[in-house]
Chain A
């Protein structure tokens, strides 16, 4: 199993009373709530944290993409990857954007990713997503074309990375007379590709196809759902006539480890609850614009009692396995159990969340890197062999 530190880079200095006047920390929250003096400090602190992960022995660091919000300050994640490329030595750098349907020109991403792959001499992992629904409001991109544009942009980037140029591209949404990528990617035939998702059978079917075998990354979901989707991937692979490896399965989860269970819960509580109830806050219309989900999936959402907008607590997310929190023993035991049940090969931990301050973030990282990672590194290959 490989260990990654994921960062969202939230605007942790957000005035948390914003929700008395505004219904979301996204899209419509005026950017007067952002203070560049504070934001500059946060950017540098967060980059320091990811660089520290390199020193602590993580296998990788992950940045991501969201637009026009206080939840994550990386609308252009390539900037962060570029900054990290020269300041880290060993870690892989994963960009878990880009939201391909938003792009007017997908070649920009093919170029940017290839540059990072070259500068890092192949320490780069490419992520392709559709983004969350709010991005379509932020970028005026038509959500009804989201699936179509994702696939077309993906195909264009793949060809740009793997085919000798120049070639012309004749799509419905994108057309080019000349595609001829300079630089070509460093890795052959291309960087690894990860597909983060909150759970979609369509996405799993696509990612698991033998032509792709992309790493499917389940983000922020109850453990029961994680197990279901990971199994779905394995089943799909089997249907396609091959066995999925643990390298094709990843899980991204917020995690907080402290000296004891009690300390961990107490220290994490306000920050994870801010993450859930303040930074993630948005109305359903913002999260799910028409076309973002298939009509069938949307129907399911309409019928399900929506958890959007209902207050979540530290205990509710711990119980559902959406947040791993506790002493090193507790965290080790949980991860070992989930791993042996589910068999993911990439574990992405969000070690800073919401308003979690710098000292607690560092302590969390150190305890995780020193007390949890080495144990699992030792245990997990044995467990995998025993399966």
Chain B
């Protein structure tokens, strides 16, 4: 079944919101590709949780507000979002740039969170570990480098209509705006990750060519009550490439954290 899709206004910005399921609230923050479609892992999670999937300001069907300059702005935006929807005891799950937003949000204020799951999050820099440069990749290289399993990479749908191409360009523009320099991180974030005082799960694919798996231990060491799990034969998008394993890990972590 399709999720409920609405347009909401938060902090003066109209965003697209998808929502489905019953249970404790689970807020999913998407990565650089936006949240255009309701994905299989969302359906699986919606069997046990109230899954809330906003599209970030500046991405996809959401507006681009004047105030949006940094990932820190988006972290404050989602703090406003949690207040506006009076959400508490939230399981916050973020992937890639969404993981960065989630980490910044949790460093600022965890009072409405019950757990945090970071999936190959951007946001910190590990000296000497080279990231992939997604801005130099062609669309074909992008697909190849995001997945371990090249059959899945080849099967990923490419934008076909003008509207779809426009969304890809818009998402790419905002990804550059937020993450071009310093590349995909905030140099000050690591100083404050000790403030993330909720149970935290860090998930990483073992074959991540965008944000190498070596970033996982660094994040784990910075967040006090955290553990790292590495998913085998998996690229940068475990929730897509290994949807069942991903969902099972998130579900069992949340149950343990409750």
Q: Which of A137, A144, A298, A303 contacts B177, CB < 8 Å?
A: A144
- B181: interface (CB < 8 Å): yes
B162 A142 Cβ-Cβ under 8 A: no
- Our pick among B136, B137, B165, B181 for the contact of A299 (Cβ within 8 Å) is B165
Instruction: Name the one of A28, A142, A295, A303 contacting B170, with C-beta atoms under 8 angstroms.
Output: A295
Asked if A283 is at the interface of the complex by the 8 Å CB criterion, the answer is yes
Question: Which residue of chain A has the shortest Cβ distance to B136 in the bound complex?
Answer: A285
Closest chain-B Cβ to A338's Cβ sits at a distance in Å of 35
Q: In the complex, which residue of chain A has the Cβ closest to the Cβ of B182?
A: A140
Cβ–Cβ contact B169 & A302, under 8 A: yes
Asked if A290 contacts B173 (CB within 8 A), the reply is yes
A142 near B166 (CB under 8 angstroms)?
A: no
| B165 CB contacts on chain A under 8 angstroms | 299, 302-303
Interface of B is mostly: helix
Quote the shortest CB–CB distance from B74 to chain A (angstroms).
15
Judge whether A295 and B135 touch: CB under 8 Å. no
CB pair A285 B137 closer than 8 Å:
yes
Q: Which of A140, A285, A291, A298 sits near B138, CB closer than 8 Å? A: A285
Instruction: Determine if B173 and A144 form an interchain contact, defined as CB atoms under 8 angstroms apart.
Output: yes
Decide if B166 touches A290 in the complex (CB within 8 Å).
no
Whether A295 lies near B166 (C-beta < 8 A) is: yes
Cα(A137)–Cα(B137), bound, Å: 12
| Nearest-CB residue, chain A, relative to B138 | A285
| Bound CA span A295–B166, Å | 7
Tell me if B135 and A291 are in contact (CB < 8 A): no
List which A273-313 residues lie within 8 A (CB) of chain B: 283-286, 289-291, 295, 298-299, 302-303
A140 touches B180 (CB 8 A): yes
Q: Which of A28, A143, A285 contacts B180 (CB 8 A)?
A: A143
| B166 contact set on A, CB distance < 8 A | 295, 299
Tell yes or no: B190 within 8 A of A by CB.
no
Q: Which residues of A contact B137 (CB under 8 A)?
A: 285
For A290, give its contact among B162, B172, B183 (CB under 8 Å): B172
Q: What's the Cα separation between A140 and B185 when bound, in Å?
A: 13
Chain B residues lying within 8 Å of A283, measured Cβ to Cβ, are 136, 138
Judge if A330 is at the interface, Cβ distance under 8 Å. no
Instruction: For A105, list chain B residues within 8 Å (CB).
Output: none
Cβ of A141 within 8 Å of any chain B Cβ, yes or no, is yes
Any chain A CB within 8 A of the CB of B144? no
The residue in chain B whose Cβ has the minimal distance to the Cβ of A296 is B166
* B176 located at the interface, meaning its Cβ lies under 8 Å from any Cβ of chain A in the complex: yes
Map CB proximity to A onto B164-196 as digits: 1 under 8 Å, 0 otherwise: 011001101111110011010000000000000
Q: A289-B135, A290-B135 are in contact. Are A140 and B181 (CB under 8 A)?
A: yes
Given contacts A285-B135, A285-B136, A290-B135, contact A144 B169 (CB under 8 A): no
- Rounded to whole Å, the gap between the CB of A114 and the closest CB of chain B is 29
Please, how many angstroms separate the alpha-carbon atoms of A146 and B175 in the complex?
15
Q: Which of B138, B170, B174, B176 lies in contact with A289, CB distance below 8 A? A: B176
Residue of B at shortest CB range from A301?
Answer: B169
Asked if residues A291 and B177 are in contact (CB atoms below 8 Å), the reply is yes
Flag B197-230 by CB within 8 Å of A: 1 or 0 each: 0000000000000000000000000000000000
| A329 interfacial by beta-carbon distance below 8 Å | no
* In the complex, chain A residues whose CB is within 8 Å of the CB of B183: 140
Interfacial chain A residues near B176, Cβ < 8 Å: 142-144, 289-291
A353 to B171, CA, bound (A): 38
State the CA gap A137–B136 with chains docked (Å).
Answer: 9
What are 20 contact pairs spanning A and B, CB under 8 A? Answer: A28-B136, A136-B180, A137-B135, A137-B136, A142-B177, A143-B180, A144-B173, A144-B176, A144-B177, A285-B138, A289-B180, A290-B169, A290-B176, A295-B169, A295-B173, A298-B169, A299-B162, A299-B166, A299-B169, A302-B169
Q: Which 7 A-B pairs have the closest CB atoms?
A: A144-B177, A290-B176, A142-B180, A290-B172, A140-B181, A290-B173, A144-B176
